[in-house]
Structure 1
Amino acid sequence: MDDGRRSLEEIERIALGRQSITLSLAEKNAVAKAHAFLCKAIEQRRRIYGVTTGYGPLATTDVDPKQSALLQQNLVYHLCSGVGEPLSHRHARAMMVARLASLVRGHSGANPVLVERLQAWLEVDLVPEVPSRGTVGASGDLTPLAHLARALSGEGRVSLREGSWIDSGEAHQQLGWKPLLLQGKDAIALVNGTSTTAGIAALNATAAQRALKLSTLLVLLYAELLEGHREAFHPAIGELRPHPGQQQLHHWLWSLSEDSAALTPWQRVPTSLPDMHNGIEQHRPLPQDAYTLRCAPQALGAVWDVVEQHAQTVRIELEAVTDNPLLLADDDLILHGGNFFGQQLAFASDSLNNALIQMALYSERRIARITDPLKNKGLPAFMQPLDTGLHSGFMGAQVSATALVAELRSHAMPASIQSIPTNADNQDIVPLGTIAARRASTSLEQLYQVLAIETLVLAQGAELKNAHLLSHASRMLCAWVREYAPPLKKDRPLSEEIAKVATALADPDEVAPLMALLSSAH
């Protein structure tokens, strides 16, 4: 896009290797202008942090510009101290996209050759081996981004087209490229930003939005199987409590349930009380449902608000320059500040994590009620219709959902409040946003596993109970899941099927028909 703005959906598709990234002429010109300004400032022997000085508490040392390449190399070397399993392929690509998005704003001073090479790496699907742990997110994601810088320089290991790890030098030879020589401000421009956090958070944002929409479809099917009262979805209820998320959920659920014959219909004119000889009439049907049905707009609406707030924070970050120092060529300014400090993403990721855990809990509670023969309106125990007792149906899967929620709860402690001073007290406060974003990513993976279990359970329930009465949306959902798993008649191992459905639910292309249901809700 000419203004440099790329949607979260575009970022995701690029990270997944399903779309190329293109740079506008304006972006290329901005990069070239900032680099020319930097080169002129270096020629003037201006004191520029990390370019003509040492780093962190060692910035008291002035460095001759002739030592530029060695200074940049040593920055990369001392920061390549990450540990733990590598970032996933998609997270590494998302990190690269996010860094590129920052550099092309034209205030970092990176060499245009570096920007072009980053774009080329994405195009051929070459990603660095980046240890996932070791960054506090204070001067940006120094450690993981340094491993990217090292790989661009022809060192460390890389993966080409999701193949095995190979030496970066070998990959360069295969591609006919020369490794980059980082100099000027190239290394610090690469590492001094929030791009690892932002890249992971961008993928979290789209995945969370889809999870919420899937939960909405599951709630509708759940309510239909339990013959819930459609009245609870009425949009007028949301108008009187105008949180945007709640109003959105009322709109979706009311619209999608319009053609359902399985729900208890709303009656504009309420029924009258019968004649009562003793002043009371007991054992009447409940006029309202349990909260997993009745409070769906409120519960999921609150989640949607958090999901959207997180997404907006990520959008802003992806349009930002998270660097230090900042170059403003038009004003002949070099400003030293703290745009690399990732507090916004840290808070947003922690908030998202809480909402994801609540969504998983809500799903688990729906699974528990619908598999309980005392509460599920005539459905068999654990959805096992054949020789119940000899066969146990989804009993084990329901326990797995409970275990997943328990584990998610144990990971609920916010990362953003765990600041520990480091770097000789230069970084005396740190946001730990990368940890928060990685944790939210893990929560999303487990949430999708819970949703997969619920999807399998509810689809089975639909086939056992008047499927022809269901809404069009619920029938579509049931048909969709049957493309990945057959009905459960006799007990069989479900682990692989749960994993298969969870993977499909998390894939934007696989669930596109389901997402279209909500987009078309009038």
Structure 2
Amino acid sequence: MIVTVQPTGVTPADVLAVARGDARVEIAAATVAAMAASRAIVDRIEASGRPVYGVSTGFGALAGTSIAPARRAELQHALIRSHAAGIGAPMPREVVRAMMLLRLRSLALGHSGVRPALAQGLADLLNNDVTPWVPEHGSLGASGDLAPLAHCALVLLGEGWVLGKDGARVTAAEALHNAGLAPLGLAAKEGLALINGTDGMLGMLLLALDDARHLFAMADLTAALAIEAMLGSERPFRPELHAIRPHPGQAVSAANIHRLLQDSTIMDSHRDDLAHAVQDAYSMRCAPQVAGAARDTLDFAATVCARELVSVVDNPVVLPDGRVESTGNFHGAPLGFVADYLAIAAAEVGAIAERRVDRLLDVTRSRDLPPFLSPDAGVNSGLMIAQYTAAGIVAENRRLAAPASVDSLPTSGMQEDHVSMGWAATRKLRTVLDNLTSLLAVELLSAVRGLQLRAPLVPSPAGRLAITAVAPFAGEPGPDVFLAPVLEQARAVVRGRELRTEVEAAVGELL
């Protein structure tokens, strides 16, 4: 697979292909021409001798310091070294690859005034699987992701660290040598152009959107399985009840759940029994209202990402008429806000799933299922402590749902006196989504246990497929087993796409 970077940038699918699919990166001829034209403007400005931020001056609070022509290349190298000041564990490979492609995209838009060789250098790192070691701490989200991008840029210079195949830290010099690549030298403005921008937080947000889209569909699946196992009603999910409250995500979620509950003798056993349940609990009946609102939040975040993918986020920017202007486009507020918003939504999707798990395990509310879904409760505890684990994760997600984007701290001698914390917002969003995977895994296991215990009644096609996916590692209801490995494998089922694909083949696409 090949991703070609045009002067108009890249798509979300391109980012996923490079970050997760190891697609090869190529640079279009039109992109090279746009970059060369922008660089020619910078060369003319430098030759003229007039002061321009980032070309002939220092940075941040040192913007008023003039730099002699003989030291301007040194200035750019010093900038990268000093700003590569992160600390902590390395960011995942997929995040760093997304960040490098997006920085290449930023340069490709032709407003950064750098030579095409810099973009090619980033493409060479991606195509040769040279992934910079980027520490998790260092970015405040303005002036963009300075420290993380500086760690990437440092590798272009043959300095810094690279992620080894086994997770070890390798010197950049060794990694470039092994890949047959040579270090690059920087000219005026190029160091600044490599590190100013929102590429790290945008990369994490795009990866999170892909994960959230899948997990929200899986949340509808696990909700339907739990509702079926608890002998819930399918009536609240009928389309006419959602047409009168026209939130798009709610309608989608309700349609998913309604379709998943069909062709089930478990549902048929009480479908026309009006005394069975006048109203199901909120965690059952309101599942589409919560998961649907999360979908709408996801759609808004995707709209913001689409705008950012065509945005020039460098500073200063080189305009076609020859001006070089300082901007604030590197500020990550748009991304930080939506990351925090989506974290709130994802946390609630997990919270309502945990409430259904608790109901499934409670003999007073599960409609004749045994306590904690154990056929021999007392000697055996069944899934009691799995619900404890889920409750602890819900509590953590509530803490993580507190917004990072309101927590600004001034830096650079008060020159950068308001920052976005967008890097922190997108990092914690990814943690919330990983936690959501665990919560849905607990619900999946609990719902499957409930469906198994309804035998000889036959579950829906989705229920039968879920049992087939889970039973090989979870077995049948019976004596207690070492539960942690079972939950880990349930996580893999939720995170993977195989069960969802099989269910969609049976009942239609889960949107």
TM class, shorter-chain normalised?
Answer: over 0.9
8 Å Cα contact 2:357-2:446 kept in structure 1: yes
Secondary structure of the corresponding residue to residue 469 of structure 1: coil
Mean alpha-carbon deviation: is it higher for 1-10 or for 439-448? 1-10
1:278 equivalent in structure 2: none
Give the counterpart of 2:252 among 233, 245, 248.
248
Give the counterpart of 1:290 among 265, 281, 284.
281
1:465 equivalent in structure 2: 454
8 Å Cα contact 1:139-1:193 kept in structure 2: yes
- Output aligned runs, 1:3-14, within 5 Å: 4=8, 6-14=10-18
Report the Cα offset of residue 172 of structure 1.
1.2
In structure 1, what residue type is equivalent to 2:244? L
1:358 equivalent in structure 2: 348
User: CA, structure 1 residues 59+3, in 2 after alignment: closer, same or farther (shift >3 Å)?
Assistant: closer
Report the Cα offset of residue 328 of structure 1.
2.2
1:159 equivalent in structure 2: 163
In structure 2, what residue type is equivalent to 1:318? L
Secondary structure of the corresponding residue to residue 390 of structure 1: coil
User: 2:137, 2:208 → 1: CA distance?
Assistant: 18
Deviation readout 1:3-55 (Å, 9 max, x if unpaired): 74544344223212443334333333323332233223323334331121110
In structure 2, what residue type is equivalent to 1:36? A
Deviation readout 1:197-251 (Å, 9 max, x if unpaired): 1111111111111111100011111111122211101111111111111121122
2:443 is aligned with 1:454: yes
In structure 1, what residue type is equivalent to 2:438? Q
User: 2:451, 2:177 → 1: CA distance?
Assistant: 57
Mean alpha-carbon deviation: is it higher for 258-267 or for 120-129? 258-267
User: CA, structure 1 residues 474+71, in 2 after alignment: closer, same or farther (shift >3 Å)?
Assistant: same
- Output aligned runs, 1:220-235, within 5 Å: 220-235=224-239
2:377 is aligned with 1:388: yes
Report the Cα offset of residue 146 of structure 1.
0.9
Give the counterpart of 1:23 among 27, 48, 72.
27
Give the counterpart of 2:105 among 94, 101, 105.
101
Secondary structure of the corresponding residue to residue 85 of structure 1: strand
Report the Cα offset of residue 137 of structure 1.
0.9
User: 2:423, 2:104 → 1: CA distance?
Assistant: 18
Report the Cα offset of residue 343 of structure 1.
0.3
2:312 is aligned with 1:316: no
User: CA, structure 1 residues 177+488, in 2 after alignment: closer, same or farther (shift >3 Å)?
Assistant: farther
- Output aligned runs, 1:399-414, within 5 Å: 399-414=388-403
Report the Cα offset of residue 483 of structure 1.
5.6
2:368 equivalent in structure 1: 378
User: CA, structure 1 residues 517+44, in 2 after alignment: closer, same or farther (shift >3 Å)?
Assistant: farther
8 Å Cα contact 2:452-2:477 kept in structure 1: no
User: 2:129, 2:432 → 1: CA distance?
Assistant: 27
Report the Cα offset of residue 517 of structure 1.
6.7
Report the Cα offset of residue 338 of structure 1.
0.7
In structure 1, what residue type is equivalent to 2:469? W
In structure 1, what residue type is equivalent to 2:415? N
User: 1:150, 1:184 → 2: CA distance?
Assistant: 16
2:431 is aligned with 1:431: no
Secondary structure of the corresponding residue to residue 166 of structure 1: strand
User: 1:317, 1:303 → 2: CA distance?
Assistant: 21
Deviation readout 1:459-497 (Å, 9 max, x if unpaired): 222222247632223323332334655445322222233
User: CA, structure 1 residues 87+487, in 2 after alignment: closer, same or farther (shift >3 Å)?
Assistant: farther
> Any stretches of 5+ residues in structure 2 without a counterpart?
none
Give the counterpart of 1:444 among 433, 444, 459.
433
User: 1:306, 1:99 → 2: CA distance?
Assistant: 26
User: 1:264, 1:195 → 2: CA distance?
Assistant: 52
User: CA, structure 1 residues 327+461, in 2 after alignment: closer, same or farther (shift >3 Å)?
Assistant: same
User: 2:228, 2:294 → 1: CA distance?
Assistant: 22
> Any stretches of 5+ residues in structure 1 without a counterpart?
273-283
User: CA, structure 1 residues 265+467, in 2 after alignment: closer, same or farther (shift >3 Å)?
Assistant: closer
User: CA, structure 1 residues 143+516, in 2 after alignment: closer, same or farther (shift >3 Å)?
Assistant: farther
User: 1:326, 1:110 → 2: CA distance?
Assistant: 11
RMSD over aligned Cα atoms:
2.5
User: 1:43, 1:476 → 2: CA distance?
Assistant: 69
In structure 1, what residue type is equivalent to 2:129? D
In structure 2, what residue type is equivalent to 1:297? P
Give the counterpart of 1:489 among 478, 499, 502.
478
User: CA, structure 1 residues 183+264, in 2 after alignment: closer, same or farther (shift >3 Å)?
Assistant: farther
User: 2:467, 2:209 → 1: CA distance?
Assistant: 26
Give the counterpart of 1:304 among 292, 295, 298.
295
Mean alpha-carbon deviation: is it higher for 376-385 or for 136-145? 376-385
- Output aligned runs, 1:31-180, within 5 Å: 31-161=35-165, 163-180=167-184
2:330 equivalent in structure 1: 340
8 Å Cα contact 1:49-1:55 kept in structure 2: yes
In structure 2, what residue type is equivalent to 1:422? T
Give the counterpart of 2:187 among 183, 196, 202.
183
8 Å Cα contact 1:89-1:162 kept in structure 2: no
2:359 equivalent in structure 1: 369
User: CA, structure 1 residues 193+512, in 2 after alignment: closer, same or farther (shift >3 Å)?
Assistant: farther
8 Å Cα contact 1:13-1:19 kept in structure 2: yes
User: 1:509, 1:41 → 2: CA distance?
Assistant: 56
Report the Cα offset of residue 126 of structure 1.
1.4
Report the Cα offset of residue 403 of structure 1.
1.0
User: CA, structure 1 residues 199+485, in 2 after alignment: closer, same or farther (shift >3 Å)?
Assistant: farther
User: 2:319, 2:501 → 1: CA distance?
Assistant: 43
Mean alpha-carbon deviation: is it higher for 23-32 or for 441-450? 23-32
